[in-house]
Structure 1
Amino acid sequence: MEGSREENETCATREVEAKFVIVGGGIAGVTCAETLADECPEEKIILITASPLVKVVTNYQQVSRTMETFDVEEKPSSTVESQCPNVRVIHAFVSGLQAEEKMLTTSDGKRVHYDKLCICSGGKPKLIPGQNPLVVGIRDTESVKSFQKKLSAAKRIVVVGNGGIATELVYEVEGCEVVWAIKDRSISSAFVDEGAAQFFLPHLNQKKKEEASALVKRLKYTVENEGGSALSPTEGEGDGSFGSALGPDWATSRHMKGASSVCPQVHVDYQVEVVRVMDRDQMSATHLKTHTPTHFAGDSEQEWPVYVELSNGCVYGCDLVVSATGVIPFTDPFLPGNTFEVAEDGGIKVNHKLETSLPDVYATGDVCTAAWERSKLWLQMRLWTQARQMGSYAARSMVAATRGESISLDICFELFAHVTKFFGYKVVLLGLFNAQGLGNDYELLLRVTEGEEYVKVVLHEGRLVGAILIGETDLEETFENLALNQTDLTAFKDNLLEPGIDIEDFFD
């Protein structure tokens, strides 16, 4: 009898159920859990996260109808439980989904039953080819800490990638020579055009970066508890491990200094890809010559622990290679045995309610791909702002479905809007900021004040459809309204960017 009672108790702890279950402790998952807790304080909610630390949005501010700013703090998962009494956090990773049975299995042997499930598992880094311990990916807190440790002994690094993480990294690293290898014709091309890239270029090798622009130089990303690991038991450094995505301005608060006492120097190789990564012995066997940029202090004959061969024929020796080439949706535990519709980019397809093709299963953030008929001025980019927006909207969509109510698409999906910071400057991206999808059927208006501001407006058929604003322009809300209202600017376009004209008063 005693053994039977113990067995029953063990079985009971393995069987868990809740009205709502969320997978993922990143911005999307935590936002979803918090919104559900606020909307349905009487319902039981389970948040499953592989990490003891979760990403929590703080200091949230709705700047305008579609623009927002917020800080991200990394806190113990118990913080969510203390702030949301009806949320229970399960510290484990998901090993499988049985959608027909509406059940998840976890690494600690639990079977988690749900009425509504939201998958917020994020993405995993795309690493450059080749296995080498001196190649590190940058995606989450754990990978950043590994990078910081290795950087402290480095005099030269090679950074591969041209997105937001690579851009912030190149700017913030000190005490180190940096070779930046990008596949495009200009830096930061995922976010800005070639003109804006030229505006930023002088700041790559500026000696006193903190003086470049103190416009928005502030700490946004903080870590309350550095302990613990974001890795699941089957994951480890160098084999695709990852935790929750980094938040805004993640690099600003971190000490990222190399072993050199010289001022940081950056060299950019454009339109290149990595051919291979070699250790010292492999390099010796090739008889290739290494290349040293003219403004670097290193000797071309110097030996390095790792070498990178690029498609332009250049071979660079360095102490560390940083792979910051983007992410792919992390769907591994969810696809086997299920019939999800999956997009070409690997994301789980979702409709305008963030529902997947399977009943009562939703997906948000980096793991999903928007498959509804989108607004002409909105595009999906796997950014922290969209992760927060999707997490909140998915929660409201789940609640509406539970109550048999309808829900209209949030206005944040009407116009793409993103506020960030590059090279010490405030950057606002609106709509089709790089004329995405317009072919040659558009007109550009430009205003540039060197070292101060860069303003680009994209017009289509006389209407504002996109903009890039760098610096303290104070134009974002006005341009947002012009884009949302699709105001015909044909009669005003020649004066739209005149410095002496108060555009906001003019259109109000």
Structure 2
Amino acid sequence: MAGEGRKTFQFMVIGGGIAGVTCVEQLFTQIPSADVALVTAGPHIKAVTNHKQVSRTVEEFDVEEKPSSVLEEKFPTLSVIHSAVKSLHAQSRCVETEDGRVFGYGMLCICSGGRPKLLAEGNPYVLGIRDTDSAQEFQKRLSKAKRIVVVGNGGIALELVYKVVGCEVIWAVKDKAIGNTFFDAGAAQFLVPSLEADKQQEAAPCKRTRYTTEEPGGVHTFTADRNVQKHGGPANPGSALGPDWHRGMVLRGAEQVSRRVSVEYQCEVEKISTPEELLRSEEQTLKPESAGSWPVYVQLTNGKTFGCDIIVSATGVVPNTDPFLPGNSFALAEDGGLQVDDHMRTSEPDVYAAGDVCTACWEPRPLWHQMRLWTQARQMGCYAGRCMVARLLSEPIDMDFCFELFSHLTTFFNYKVVLLGKFNAQGLSFDHQLLLRCTKAQEYVKVVLSGGRMVGAVLIGETDLEETFENLILNQMDLTPYGEELLNPNIDIEDYFD
């Protein structure tokens, strides 16, 4: 592309989500007078607030949506370009925006995030919840709904089914237990009673110290007054929702019930039908009178069909790389993300990437792995900013310590949840051992040991063990002498290892 008269920036960052905004802030932290452009499709950006370093790798923060002018006031040399990106020309180092403008860059960081993997593109009854606009659209449509079907088993699905009231929820998960991305079956069993009404449960300590088998999958129905257990088999999306995205939103349906969630395990969506299609289909199993009473029907692979008002597709995201690929030669990972090395560089010169759009293709440390979470979006954005400055100044830079150990702090079903290292024994051989401590409705503590050393942990509730366990994982101390006493609730383990 011709470069006549175009404005060229020292640094350009694409995306107003957590990764992009953190990258911009890091650039200005190191070079206060930097010439930086932030290209973002929406008028708002995602800002990290109330950041607190809980331990060396565990951090806690809120994410707030703010007008981009907040950043411009904070950093006078920042230019915010309000437009989606139409194309990137890596060879001539310039970006063309949807409104026809062309801008040059010295170094570029792509932080365009991910877009929802929708069950059925273009179906008006299928809603993907990914950004603030789609969450508000869901809130509006939920207010008239009597039954919704939620498909997916990640963080957004977990929070959604817990927060929705006044509406029947059918929750279809492909796994044997809820929250499979974050928990094993034991932690899922601990959380499941929370789907009942919000009544406080008696805290009774129960201890099962070792286990290797999963709980059997089945169908659980949780209503406000009973607990029955049956065994059976948009074009330019905004930036991703942050933690506690539903805070301040009233997620209420059209019915008077408080909460009614039915979980269908080990199944996926086979077909989405209109009432007319369902009546015509040969495998129609519903009674004729109920086959036309809902606007949309979902057939699951377990043979069941449910009518509902809305289908919520919460089945994860795919890296949002579309505008950047044509005409360039980016190396892509198997999951479709832009491959980045240990300095967050893509395969195109002076083009970096951070957050959900990229895939970490360096040799990771033994106890770190990538998950597309806001914690890692912030860490990657910050590190990418540092790497870009190091490149500008021709200075060496060490890998950030946050990539030593996977850690994530969040909240599910009103419980604090901390995940450390190989918390679900990811990639470990069969000789690993699990230790467990569980107090009903109070806390769930699971430790993963390999060769007598702690390699992962799941902490649900106010356990105050994250710092101690993080240290034990990082220093790889041999814990064999302690055996099951490691989780003895009568021993103050923090004092033990300080």
Q: TM above 0.5, one fold? A: yes
Q: Where does residue 185 of structure 2 map in the other structure?
A: 194
Cα distance between partner residues in 1 of 2:236 and 2:316: 14
Structure 2 counterparts to residues 96-245 of structure 1, below 5 A: 96-129=87-120, 131-208=122-199, 241-245=236-240
1: distance between equivalents of 2:475 and 2:202?
39
Paired residue secondary structure (1:178): strand
Q: CA deviation at 1:17?
A: 1.3
Q: Is the 8 A contact 2:53 2:60 kept in 1?
A: yes
Structure 1 residue aligned with 2:475: 485
1:375 aligns with 2:370: no
2:463 pairs, out of 462, 466, 473, with 473
Match of 2:225 in 1: none
Equivalent position SS for 1:165: helix
Q: How does 1:103-502 map to 2 (within 5 A)?
A: 103-129=94-120, 131-208=122-199, 241-286=236-281, 288=283, 303-502=293-492
Relative to structure 1, the CA distance from residue 267 to residue 408 in structure 2 (aligned partners, 3 Å threshold; closer, same or farther) is same
> Residues 357-397 of structure 1, C-alpha deviation per residue, up to 9 Å, x if partnerless?
11111000000000001001001000000000111110011
Is the CA contact (8 Å cut-off) linking 2:146 and 2:255 kept in structure 1?
yes
Q: Which amino acid aligns with 1:113?
A: G
- Where structure 1 has 5 or more consecutive residues not aligned to the other structure, the ranges are 1-10, 213-238, 293-298
Moved over 4 A (4+): 11-14, 207-212, 287-292, 299-302
In the alignment, what sits opposite 1:42?
Answer: 33
Deviations 1:96-138 (A, max 9, x none): 1111111111112221111110000000100013642011001
CA distance in 2, matches of 1:116, 1:64: 33
- Once the two structures are TM-superposed, the CA of residue 80 in structure 1 deviates from its matched residue by 0.8
Change in CA separation of 1:211 and 1:133 when aligned onto 2, cut-off 3 Å: farther
1:316 deviates by 0.1
Deviations 1:248-296 (A, max 9, x none): 011132111000011220000011010111112111212655679xxxx
User: How far apart are residue 300 of structure 1 and its match?
Assistant: 5.3
Structure 2 counterpart of 1:337, which letter?
Answer: G
Structure 2 counterpart of 1:170, which letter? V
Q: SS in structure 2 opposite 1:390?
A: helix
Structure 1 counterpart SS, 2:91: helix
The one-character-per-residue Cα deviations of 1:210-250 (angstroms, maximum 9, x if unpaired) are: 999xxxxxxxxxxxxxxxxxxxxxxxxxx565210000011
RMSD over aligned CA atoms reads 2.0
TM-score when normalising by structure 2 = 0.91
- After superposition, the Cα gap between the structure-2 partners of 1:281 and 1:502, relative to the gap in structure 1 and judged at 3 Å, is same
Give the equivalent residue in structure 1 for 2:221. none
The answer as to 2:78 corresponding to 1:83 is: no
User: Could you say which residue in structure 2 is the equivalent of 1:218?
Assistant: none
Output one character per residue of 1:172-200: Cα deviation in whole Å (capped at 9) or x when no partner: 00100000001000001000110000001
TM-score using structure 1 length: 0.89
> What do the CA deviations read for 1:411-464 (whole angstroms, capped 9, x no partner)?
110000000011110000000000000031310000000110000000011110
Amino acid at match of 1:26: G
Quick check: 2:51–2:60 contact (8 Å CA) kept in 1? yes
Q: Which residue of 2 aligns with 1:24?
A: 15
C-alpha distance in structure 2 between counterparts of 1:322 and 1:421, whole Å: 21
Of 77, 85, 92, the residue aligned with 1:94 is: 85
How far the C-alpha of 1:13 sits from its partner, in A, is 11
In the alignment of these two chains, the number of paired residues is 466
2:255 partner amino acid: S
Deviation at 1:336, TM superposition (A): 0.8
Given the superposition, is the C-alpha separation of residues 286 and 479 from structure 1 closer, same or farther in structure 2, using an over 3 Å criterion? same
Residues of 2 paired with 1:260 and 1:19: CA distance? 55
**Residue 494 of structure 1: CA displacement?**
2.2
* CA contact 1:61–1:70 (8 Å) conserved in 2: yes
Percent identity (aligned):
58
2:208 — aligned with what? none
Provide the rounded CA distance (Å) in 2 between the counterparts of 1:13 and 1:330.
30
Do 1:23 and 1:48's aligned partners in 2 also have CA atoms closer than 8 Å? yes
Change (3 A) 1:282 1:207: farther
Classify 1:211/1:367 alpha carbon distance in 2 versus 1 (closer, same or farther; 3 Å).
farther
Classify the secondary structure of the residue corresponding to 2:339: strand
Aligned-partner SS, 2:257: coil
Secondary structure at the counterpart of residue 377 of structure 1:
coil
The 1:310–1:130 alpha-carbon spacing in structure 2 relative to 1, beyond 3 Å, is farther
